[in-house]
Structure 1
């Protein structure tokens, strides 16, 4: 079997580094935040090219704190993509604001800047572009439109660790950038984790307080905060893993290039596009086909796992019916949800395994 993701192989390769790091935390007796998390924050901020990083317990918490630090609250609207995991919209709701969706670009499936104008109202406070599948949204025109209306841009970079736009790293272009370290991410913890990067000193201070019960110092609560702290064990593990992220990105890009070469020209199969001036880090290698469900069943019979990122757009999810959207409102995103199929891709995936996947796809298409 070829899995969609192989976390056991991932751990086995790093075991000699991870286990001593974890044991050092256990021996220290300092299990929440602390030096390991602080050092990881410094390392990750340097990697992204930002001044600050605030480590938290999940990517959802990162989005929530970034919105609150930007002053988003009840009565505000936040524009984002309907083609994302529900956490993006949920964080907006947690802040008391209303998600407003715009459709995605048909090539990259990221937020379409040309559609922003129709969505901006006097209540709009922020834009959250989602860097989908490992590729950044078209940040230039998004930032230009935001600047025109004095809107905050908060990057949802939860799938885009190390992705680039014009040489700038994901998370470094907006007022803040939010990351998830869920185990399956390109940089994944052994459990839950998240982080916000920013260059804004005041927003950094607010987020540091909010993640730890709003404390300025112990038992002095300046804000109504949350328990969003990162565990020290996860900080230590992520420090180890961050040192390998660039080699893992290179491996993912190599396997994606193999897929591109082997699958090019197959009828009714659209391959992912790396837009000019961007570095795609291939968190997901998502092909598109009208026969998606048939192809998925065929690959399962062939012993190849696949994924759906995502089968239902957020505006059509039962939980978000109250927003008042209907089928047909965002046709590009809706079509993608019917057609997108994620193929196996991870740093440990071998070139011959990619060949096996491609051969299985061709057996189905040309049967």
Structure 2
């Protein structure tokens, strides 16, 4: 019997932006008003995100990678320093560390969550450790509260890579609102909250916010409004060109207004997958703790991953791999250390199509196709 794909077949793509329609209007209005660069619309977006999180400030930047980079620099991380980080992340995380002048110290993950745990962090600390950079994989929060005092005593800062985790919670508190943590978001095209492109950092103090704003603007201390009213400006130190544009901010303002509806769609889709994958022999679902998480993706461990991946792609199902381990990449091989759990996961992980436009019927079709591909590879298959 032929298994017919749903029509329209939303699972043909692994992920895609989810827009509401008003974003185009908001961008057009910004263009007609001559608002292209960094201006009051960006400040409106910053204030809206800060209000949603319940924090005093959020500093918008050009990308999630830029958010990590300026956060590391603002925290004083630099040459000779070591940053503890999982290898199981997008390579941008590691590039940000290297760009700051520091070097990564890769640690293991929990294979059930793909996130680091406190005991692994403690075991990896060295005299040169300056920061811990947990990656909130799939949107799941990483709770390091049990070692917070020890990290503080050793003057080690926690900088969260929360690119996947906007809207998720840790111990009832929104990611980004935990005291004493620098949190970095991505607002890229397929993230839970998108600006088309962009990122943001939640600072710990007002002084840190000032430092982040200077770093994103070539080290200039005056705001764009202040510079417009004077004949000069002051460059206090090193900085990047990492400001967010008004056009991206216009998209973000609309997205934030609709965020709760999108979060609910993501949770419902993940639960639809989970209910079917529990009975799918040969596939083990990575747990995101969906009651506290706005899921970014849906990931399974499967044996013979490459064969299953190819078969599903041939059916037009947009499976992906997020991500190949970084400690085995040529660019980062100088920091290689054996990580058997991460390496095994790297051979098994497969991301199923996941975006808010998908329906429960799309998820059902993907799971049926996955089950069929797994059965074909079983020694007991006829």
TM range (shorter): over 0.9
Shift of 1:145: 4.0
Aligned to 1:338: 347
Partner of 1:20: 25
Shift of 1:250: 0.9
In structure 1, list runs of 5 or more residues that go unmatched. Answer: none
What TM-score, normalized to structure 1?
Answer: 0.93
Q: Equivalences for 1:228-239 in 2 at 5 Å?
A: 228-239=242-253
1:273–1:335: structure 2 CA closer, same or farther, 3 Å change rule? Answer: same
Aligned partner of residue 216 in structure 1, secondary structure? coil
Residues 10-89 of structure 1 aligned to structure 2 (within 5 Å) = 10-11=18-19, 14-15=20-21, 17-89=22-94
User: Per the alignment, do residues 144 and 292 of structure 1 end up closer, same or farther by CA in structure 2, a change over 3 Å counting?
Assistant: farther
1:293 aligned to 2:299? Answer: no
2:267 matches 1:253: yes
Shift of 1:106: 2.2
In structure 2, stretches of 5+ residues that fail to align are 1-8, 228-232, 377-382
Greater mean alpha carbon deviation, residues 114-123 or residues 125-134:
114-123
Contact 1:111/1:138 (<8 A) preserved:
no
Shift of 1:6: 5.8
Q: Give the whole-Å Cα distance in 1 for the aligned partners of 2:216 and 2:278.
A: 47
Q: Which residue of 1 aligns with 2:362?
A: 353
1:303 to 298, 316, 326: 316
CA drift at 1:347: 1.0
Alignment of 1:166-315 (within 5 A): 166-173=171-178, 174-190=180-196, 192-217=197-222, 218=227, 219-275=233-289, 279-310=292-323, 312-315=324-327
CA apart distance, 1:7 = 3.7
> Is 1:3 aligned to 2:9, yes or no?
no
Q: How far did 1:189 drift?
A: 2.3
Residues 16 and 355 in structure 2, CA contact (< 8 A), matched pair in contact too: no
What's the secondary structure of 2:201's corresponding residue?
A: strand
Measured in 1, the distance between the counterparts of 2:168 and 2:37 equals 29
Q: CA RMSD in A?
A: 1.7
Alpha-carbon distance in structure 2 between the residues aligned to 1:141 and 1:81? 19
SS of residue paired to 1:229: coil
Q: Is the 8 A contact 2:220 2:237 kept in 1?
A: yes
Query: In the alignment, what sits opposite 2:125?
Result: 120
Query: How far apart are residue 142 of structure 1 and its match?
Result: 4.8
Q: 1:320 aligns with which of 332, 351, 359?
A: 332
Which digits, 9 at most, give the CA deviation of each residue in 1:133-173, with x for residues without a partner? 11112332353442342211111001111111111112222
Q: What secondary structure sits across from 1:279 in the alignment?
A: coil
CA contact (8 A) 1:4 1:307 kept: no
Equivalent runs, 1:89-104 vs 2, <5 Å: 89-104=94-109
Contact 1:50 1:199 in 2 (8 A): no
